[in-house]
A and B are shown apart, each in its own frame.
Chain A
Amino acid sequence: MKDTILNPNTKTYIYLLIFYIVILSAGFSIKDPYILTIFVFAGLNALSALGLSLLMGLAGQISLGHNGFYGLGAYLSAILSVYYKVPVLLSIVIAVTFTSLFAILLAIPALRLKGHYLAVATLGFGEIIYLLLNEWGPGGPSGFGDIPRLYLGAIELSSPLHFHLFVWTLFAVAFFFSLNLANSTYGKVLRALHASETALRTLGINIVSLKVKIFILSAFLTALSGAIYAHFVTFVSPATFSVFYSVLLLMMVMLGGIHSLWGAPIGALFITFLPETLRPFKEYDILIYGLILTLGLIFFRKGIIHLLEVGAKRWLPFLK
């Protein structure tokens, strides 16, 4: 510790830079579009998981309704660009803004609830969005396609590599701001929310407004991920946005490690790649998938990130 001039905050930013460079160079060196496509989905999941990780890790709130935000982001942006001919980048901005506003409406009443009750309230919200997409979404349960691809200026993002660079850059930016938030006084207050609400209340800190803000940020990130999903796959149907997506995100955050924001990208990469590596097992992959998740939660209860930290401390002493 003595010989380092960096404070721990600076160090996390350096890690982020390293992570970003590694991911990008992976994108450039991998020629296989199939692997790159998995990376893109992993990046999208990482973005959503980051949102959930902020909510759970910082604010100590649980949500089983993030599939609703994911779906709203995707559907709104897709509808705007297909039926109202809004340019894609603008449609994403509008969709994400609208979803975030919508999150306020949900957050203000819902965050009065705690524990299981909050879980079921958010679950209900996500289900309602899913059911409404089925009932009123264009194409109903069959969904709709021919959604335009994303343009950045004059460049059309057409290949998985383009999307890979775009999504992970977006993730890095979001992660940068999330780290800022976590390390700020604001973030420390939020962490304290975990410990004692009463103590905070006596200090005169407005807990509800803090919780609502973090909830909106969380919804924002997930909606963004959903909107990009729509323009990447160019087809959406309600089935993608069922409650199982929320459960998947929860798995990513927990298995990645809830005590650190790093758990989100690690968990997302792990959970997204896992079923792909299990392909040789054909339809019985669900057995092995379930087994790995169960054992993972039992034996690595602090998450993969904890393993990495311990490993790093042990084998890479210079990082101390």
Chain B
Amino acid sequence: MELFLQFLFSGITVGAIYALIALGFNIVYNATSILNLAQGEFLVFGGLLMWYFLEKLNLPYGFSFLLALGATGFVGLLMERFTIRPLQKTADPLLLILITIAFSILLRGILMFLFGKDPYGYRPIDEGPPLIIFGAILQRQVLWILLFVVLTLIFLYLFFNCTMIGRAMKACSVDKTSASLMGINTSQMVMLSFFLSGIFAGLAGILITPITFIEYDKGPLLTIKGFTSAILGGLGSNWGVMAGGFLLGILESLIAGYVHSGLKDALALLLMLIMLLFRPAGLFQSAEQARLRKL
């Protein structure tokens, strides 16, 4: 029992990280149908900037937090302005995905230039000893991550359903032409979505660094995990991708615990592949829903 709980907590820790990345993916995907594969680099950017503000400039925790968030959001804006917008007209989804990959390589180069290759870390939000629940141990930072995941979901729900701007964004994702006929500035909406995804990636980076440390080339593998989670849960739905993240994390952890740690990634991926074949739209929505959501 204790062992199982420990495996579960470990899975939740990793899953919470995946969930945060997957959410960032989903925001951009919902607004633009683009998969932003530079998401992992945004995240690294957030973590490294937080380190810079906190440890190098000795700014207060909360202030560094906000600064780092704003800065990653700004990088999202820049990316949209200089790479996505010039290509919007071609509307070739493959080209748009590739440009995000190319940009991620560029961003990685910049990060290496600015911060070097060392891993960085800083203190967690709450420095108390880890929690012990029925003999299993859970780091406090994980609770904070869970809190932020919930806050993010509530924020996104309110934003997309109760604010004018959020509804406009939603309208864009359903049908761009109609939306623009209704007087919505669609290119501003795309820009906003990249800003938001930058902020959420930054949030993820800031929160996970005390647990996993961060270095300039951590991005690609985080991107792949986040991407897998998003597909697993079903792109399009915020709740779905979040659940996908936790599911993947817990799955990996249980496989490592009960099967073998050397096979955890391969088996988790295999399960995902099998699932994809039976439920191509993700675990939590039917193909019908997915089609309605997009198209």
Q: Is the CB of A116 within 8 A of B235?
A: yes
* Contact call B272/A124, Cβ cutoff below 8 A: yes
Task: Find B269's partner among A62, A128, A286 (CB 8 Å cutoff).
Answer: A128
Q: In the complex, what's the smallest C-beta–C-beta distance from A208 to chain B, in angstroms?
A: 14
Say yes or no: is A241 at the interface (Cβ < 8 Å to chain B): no
Known: A62-B94, A135-B262, A251-B101. A116 touches B35 (CB 8 A): yes
Contact of B90 among A62, A127, A134, A301 (CB under 8 A): A301
Partner of A113 from the list B103, B265, B280 (CB cut-off 8 Å) is B280
Q: Mark B98-114, 1 if CB is under 8 A from A, else 0.
A: 11011111111110110
**Residues of B contacting A110 in the complex (Cβ-Cβ under 8 angstroms):** 277
Please, what's the 1-or-0 string for A276-320, where 1 marks a CB less than 8 Å from any CB in chain B? 000000011011111101101110010000000000000000000
Which of chain A's residues have a CB closer than 8 A to the CB of B92?
Answer: 301
With contact pairs A254-B98, A294-B99, A294-B102 given, residues A131 and B266 touching in the complex (Cβ less than 8 Å): yes
Does B87 lie at the interface of the complex (its beta carbon under 8 Å from any beta carbon of A)? Answer: yes
User: Does A290 contact B99, Cβ atoms closer than 8 Å?
Assistant: no
Cα separation A135 to B86 with both chains bound (whole Å): 44
Contact for A286 among B83, B98, B108, B277, CB less than 8 A: B108
Q: How many interface contacts (CB-CB < 8 Å) are there between A and B?
A: 115
Q: How far is the CA of A169 from the CA of B112 in the complex (A)?
A: 40
| B35, B99, B228: the one within 8 Å of A297 (CB) | B99
Determine which of A62, A121, A286, A297 lies in contact with B109 in the assembled complex, contact meaning CB atoms within 8 Å. Answer: A286
> How far is it, in angstroms, between the C-alpha of A296 and the C-alpha of B82 when the chains are bound?
13
A120: chain B residues within 8 A (beta carbon): 227-228, 231, 276
Contact with B along A98-117 (1 / 0, CB 8 A): 00000000000110110111
Whether the pair B93, A115 counts as a contact (CB closer than 8 A) is yes
> Which size class do B's interface residues fall under?
35 or more
Task: Find out whether the CB atom of A294 lies under 8 angstroms from the CB atom of B106.
Answer: yes
Query: What number of A residues sit within 8 Å (CB to CB) of B?
Result: 42
Contact A286 B105 (CB under 8 A): yes
Closest Cβ neighbor of A113 among chain B residues: B280
B276 and A290 contacting across the interface, CB-CB below 8 Å: no
List, in ascending order, chain B residues with CB within 8 A of A301's CB: 87, 90, 92, 95
Chain B hits for A121, CB < 8 A: 273, 276-277
- B49 CB to nearest A CB, Å: 18
Q: Which residues of B contact A124 (CB under 8 A)?
A: 228, 269-270, 272-273, 276
CA distance A290 to B113 in the complex (A): 13
Question: Which residues of the partner chain A approach B109 to less than 8 Å between Cβ atoms?
Answer: 284, 286-291
User: Is B263 on the interface with A (CB-CB < 8 A)?
Assistant: yes
| Interface hit among A10-18, A150-158, A242-250 | A242-250
B102, B110, B224 — most chain A CB neighbours (10 Å): B102
A172, CB-defined interface residue at 8 Å: no
In the complex, residue of chain B having the shortest beta-carbon distance to the beta carbon of A126 = B269
Within 8 A of A (CB), among B154-213: none
A residues near B101, Cβ cutoff 8 Å: 247, 250-251
Residue pair B273, A125 in contact (C-beta under 8 Å): yes
> Using a CB-CB cutoff of 8 Å, which residues 264-295 of chain B contact chain A?
265-266, 269-270, 272-273, 276-277, 280-281
Bound Cα distance from A117 to B281, whole angstroms: 8
Q: Do the beta carbons of B106 and A287 come within 8 Å of each other?
A: yes
- Does the CB pair B266–A128 fall under 8 Å? yes
Q: Assess whether A56 is interfacial by the CB under 8 Å rule.
A: yes
CB distance from B146 to the nearest CB of A (A): 26
| Complex CA distance for A247 and B57, rounded to whole angstroms | 38
B220 at interface (Cβ–Cβ under 8 A)?
Answer: yes
Docked pose: A244 CA to B220 CA in angstroms: 9
A132 close to B (CB within 8 Å):
yes
Contacts of B102 in A (CB 8 A): 251, 290, 293-294, 296-297
- Closest residue of chain B to A286, judged by CB? B109
> Which chain B residue has the least Cβ–Cβ distance from A115?
B93
Within the complex, what minimum Cβ distance (angstroms) separates A72 from chain B? 14
Residue of B nearest to A130 (CB): B266
Closest-by-CB residue of B relative to A60 is B94
Does A210 count as interface, using CB distance less than 8 angstroms? no
How close is A119's CB to chain B, nearest CB, in angstroms?
A: 8
B266 and A298 form a contact (CB under 8 A): no
**Residues in chain B near residue A296, CB distance under 8 A:** 102
Contacts of B263 in A (CB 8 A): 131, 135
- Complex Cα distance, B93 from A56, in Å, reads 13
Of listed A115, A124, A127, residue having the most chain B CB within 10 A: A124
Pick from A243, A291, A298: contact of B87, CB below 8 A.
Answer: A298
A residues in contact with B112, CB < 8 Å? 283-284, 286-287
Q: How far, in angstroms, from A62 to B92 measured CA to CA in the complex?
A: 13
Report chain B residues within 8 Å CB of A79: none
Give the distance in Å from the alpha carbon of A171 to the alpha carbon of B228 in the complex: 34
Interface membership of A123, Cβ < 8 A: yes
The answer on a CB contact under 8 Å between B99 and A298 is yes
Contacts of B106 in A (CB 8 A): 287, 290-291, 293-294
Interchain CB contact under 8 A, B105 and A290: yes
- Chain A residues whose C-beta falls within 8 Å of the C-beta of B262 in the assembled complex: 134-135
Q: List 7 A-B contacts (CB under 8 A).
A: A121-B277, A250-B101, A286-B109, A287-B113, A290-B107, A291-B109, A298-B87
A-side residues, CB < 8 A to B, are: 56, 62, 109-110, 112-113, 115-117, 119-121, 123-125, 127-128, 131-132, 134-135, 243-244, 247, 250-251, 254, 258, 283-284, 286-291, 293-294, 296-298, 301
